[in-house]
Amino acid sequence: MSDPRPGAGWHSYLPEFVDTDASAIESSLANFVRDVSREQQVSWHNSIKWLKREYGQLIGTHEEAESYTTLLEYELPRDFRRPDIIVLEGAVIVVLEVKGRGGNTQSARDQVTGYMRDLSAYHGACAGRKIVSVVVPSDWSAGPKEKDAVWVMGTEDVHPFLLKMAHENKGEPVTAEAFLDDDAYAPLPTIVSAARSLYEGRPLPFIKRARANTDPALQAISEITHNAARSGTRNLVLLSGVPGSGKTLVGLQLVHAGWLDDLTVERKGKKMSPAVYLSGNGPLVAVLQDALKGGPVPGSVFVQDIKRYVAYYSNSRGHTPPEHLIVFDEAQRAHDAERVATVHKRPIGPSEPEHLLEFCARIPDWCVLVALIGDGQAIHAGEEIGVRLWADAIAERHPDENWSVHGATQLQGYFAESASNCHWIAALNLDAEIRFHLTPKVHAFVESLLEEAPVDNRRAIGDELFDGGHRFLITRSLDDAKRYLHERYEGAPLSRYGILASSKDKILPQFDVDNTFQKTKRLKVGAWYNRPADDALSCCQLETVATEFSSQGLELDAALVAWGSDLIRENGEWSMRMSRGTRGNLHDPLQLRKNVYRVLLTRGRDGTVVYVPESEALEETWKFLLESGFRELAV
């Protein structure tokens, strides 16, 4: 093997591959891949045999093929997925996935599409080059056919196809050295992996687009914080943005910023904890604390539940928070005074924003409270007022506390009557999705469904998403949905997929989706998201169900959403007639139902499979989703 280096089980120029004894190639692959099964060894043996034949014929008919490179079992850095075969030829990169009999399935095509998409988006050596994905079932004899932007072909079709791609995409091929460079592949981290990296002091591998969207906000908040420390002032920073735009990642980076240590004021001769990340999203707190446990400092030091934080400091007026920088995630869902009274079982008093500002006023010298504001994500009673609560809270603070407000111009109207100094900064609004940066219309598609855009508009967005590699699939078979996800993420140990369902549905338990309160309240959320796929508590087992309350603010690689009875189509419009009852006084119950499905349908980074049970009550919903651009799952 030329220039041995980690990153692939085998890589060489095509002539070297053809001339090398098959047993040597198999040995190299076995040394690279851990825990090789007998089935995998047989697949390698058979694949190497026909690859030698196909590469040999390509070299014999195309002189330039001698400079082409092949890689077997290339491992995508940091996530351990391995495309079977990659060919670097001319200006094109061909990714081949070998399957057994009957291997032309939706899951196989989507798996190789995922490789193609991620190489295109995150691999520096692939930038600007065409990437072609191919599935090679062992029993395929129908000639090359294209489906879902993936080529399906038999083994004897490979060398003519490679020759065709080379002729159509002339140019200098990528070298193995460039392709396997340590810094070549830099994917966008998930929230959990980002928290782990920051906690352990490792840099985040951000794609340029993500940095371009979030770095200006980080820089602006850094400047506000340094100015606050110098001037001894108190500052409320409102960082707003669309769902999936990186607000949580910005917040995590802030509380782990090394420069905060230099700004912290000593108390009684010792340094205090510089920052804390607060969230009212209990599952997010549980998942992050679970992911960070076992380190030198408990994860609970950096990530805390807002309910406990408010309870502690409101009951202990003599206590002062140790932090100078406080980040409050999903601040648009902050509880109003009535909800605080209900949750904490006390008479009506301050709202959560009022409590937090009062706690911050106790902090000596200076403080910065960063409120992360999302759009359209209220799913509880008491969360519907949003930014107005923060404007009212800041208006009540005493002028001597010297508060300043910083936010995007979109929020200016809320603070028109504020006596505080207000500064409007464009960088404090994140207006571009990075969770779905390759297919940025995921939220637009979901919005078009829930707000009933014209059918042609819905379908056009759905088609655009499908063409971009994002999947919105639909099925009446729960078993088919589970099989698809297991096969789609086979060999992807870090991928996470699970069943989501609304808490207000009435019928899903009849169809083997147990979303009852008694069942879902026992869900171990941290384990569900973080445990390995083969662990009984893992979401990947597709046995236990997470509701909107256990999934908001978190993400999966793919979600299996069981559509329930609480939001159905009746007589051409959305209805919640069959929803379970809700507690508290709601301003707009139907809007909260829509918000729940907005959350459920936007958890999957790669896509969503919607299971619609065979229930008469859901027939109109099934037809509506199909006509709107969902593709029926083909297994």
Could you tell me what percent of the chain has a pLDDT over 90? 60
Concatenating the DSSP letter of every residue in 450-500 gives: HTT--HHHHHHHHHHHHHTT-EEEEES-HHHHHHHHHHHTTT-TT--EEEE
**For residue 377, pLDDT beyond 50:** no
Per-residue pLDDT at 219: 95
Mean pLDDT lowest among 79-93, 172-186, 436-450, 452-466:
436-450
Average pLDDT over all residues of the chain? 88
Note whether 430 and 373 are within 8 A (CB). no
Higher pLDDT, 334 or 505: 505
Concatenating the DSSP letter of every residue in 81-123 gives: ---SEEEEETTEEEEEEEE-TT---HHHHHHHHHHHHHHHHHB
Per-residue pLDDT at 335: 79
Per-residue pLDDT at 25: 97
Provide the pLDDT confidence category of residue 337 given band limits of 50, 70 and 90.
confident
**For residue 344, pLDDT beyond 60:** no
- Tens of pLDDT, residue by residue over 283-336, are 888 888 887 775 545 455 578 888 888 888 888 777 899 899 999 988 887 878
Mapping DSSP onto H, E and C, the string for 510-578 reads HHCCCCCHHHHCCCCHHHHHHCCCCCCCCHHHCCCEECHHHHCCCCEEEEEEECCCCCEEECCEEECCC
User: How far apart, in whole angstroms, are the C-alpha atoms of residue 413 and residue 397?
Assistant: 19
Closest CA relative to residue 327, chosen from 372, 284, 288: 372
Q: In the predicted model, what is the mean pLDDT of residues 164-191?
A: 88
Q: In the predicted model, what is the mean pLDDT of residues 568-580?
A: 94
Residue 568 CA, chain-centre distance (Å), reads 27
**For residue 13, pLDDT beyond 80:** yes
> What are the CA-CA distances from residue 35 to residues 31, 38, 41, 356, 473 (Å)?
10, 10, 11, 52, 33
Per-residue pLDDT at 434: 63
- Tens of pLDDT, residue by residue over 34-63, are 788 999 999 999 999 999 999 999 999 999
Highest mean pLDDT among 159-163, 284-288, 333-337, 364-368: 159-163
Per-residue pLDDT at 178: 95
Q: In sequence order, what are the residues at sequence separation of 6 or more whose Cβ sits closer than 8 angstroms to the Cβ of residue 552?
A: 281, 283, 284, 330, 377, 379, 599
- Listed in order, strand segments (DSSP E) in 184-305 are 234-241, 275-279, 303-305
Per-residue pLDDT at 319: 87
Q: In the predicted model, what is the mean pLDDT of residues 217-246?
A: 92
Note whether 407 and 240 are within 8 A (CB). yes
**For residue 559, pLDDT beyond 60:** yes
Mapping DSSP onto H, E and C, the string for 349-371 reads CCCHHHHHHHHHHHCCCCEEEEE
Highest mean pLDDT among 177-191, 192-206, 463-477: 463-477
Q: What is the pTM of this model?
A: 0.80
- Tens of pLDDT, residue by residue over 458-504, are 999 999 999 989 999 999 999 999 999 999 999 999 899 999 999 99
Strand 85-89 versus strand 92-99 pairing type: antiparallel
Q: In the predicted model, what is the mean pLDDT of residues 190-212?
A: 62
Concatenating the DSSP letter of every residue in 436-459 gives: TTTSTTHHHHHHHHHTT--HHHHH
Q: In the predicted model, what is the mean pLDDT of residues 106-122?
A: 93
User: How far apart, in whole angstroms, are the C-alpha atoms of residue 558 and residue 107?
Assistant: 12
Could you tell me what percent of the chain has a pLDDT over 70? 87
**For residue 384, pLDDT beyond 50:** no
Q: In sequence order, what are the residues at sequence separation of 6 or more whose Cβ sits closer than 8 angstroms to the Cβ of residue 603?
A: 500, 551, 554, 555, 556, 559
Q: In the predicted model, what is the mean pLDDT of residues 64-92?
A: 94
Q: In the predicted model, what is the mean pLDDT of residues 59-88?
A: 94
**For residue 206, pLDDT beyond 60:** no
Per-residue pLDDT at 436: 53
Per-residue pLDDT at 588: 83
Provide the pLDDT confidence category of residue 536 given band limits of 50, 70 and 90.
very high
Size of the chain in residues = 635
Provide the pLDDT confidence category of residue 419 given band limits of 50, 70 and 90.
low
**For residue 524, pLDDT beyond 70:** yes
User: How far apart, in whole angstroms, are the C-alpha atoms of residue 173 and residue 163?
Assistant: 14
Note whether 558 and 609 are within 8 A (CB). yes
Q: Which run of H or of E encompasses 372?
A: strand 367-373
Closest CA relative to residue 150, chosen from 102, 185, 114: 114
User: How far apart, in whole angstroms, are the C-alpha atoms of residue 492 and residue 496?
Assistant: 9
Higher pLDDT, 628 or 379: 628
